[in-house]
Amino acid sequence: MVQNGTKRSTGARSRRGFLRTVGGVTVGALAATPATAQSGGGTTHTISMLTEGGSYYFDPIGLHVEPGDTVEWVNESGQHSATSYTSDNPRYDGDRRIPSGAESWNSGVFEESGATFSYTFEETGTYDYYCIPHRTLGMVGRIVCGSPGGPAAENEFPESDSPQGTMPSSETIVEEGSLEWPYVPTTDHGGPPLLFWGGVGALGATSAYLFTVYDRASGRYSTPDLPGNE
The binding site for Cu cation comprises 131, 134, 139
Half-sphere exposure of 26 (CA within 13 A, CB side): 16
Give 143's strand partners.
63, 127
Collapse the DSSP code of 203 into the 3-class scheme (helix H, G, I; strand E, B; otherwise coil) and give the result: helix
CA dihedral 178, 180, 182, 185 (to 10 degrees): -50
Are 196 and 26 within 8 A, CB to CB? Answer: no
Name the phi and psi angles at 71, rounded to 5: -110, 130
Are 141 and 83 within 8 A, CB to CB? Answer: no
Beta pairing, strands 140-145 & 55-59 = unpaired
Known binding positions: 131, 134, 139
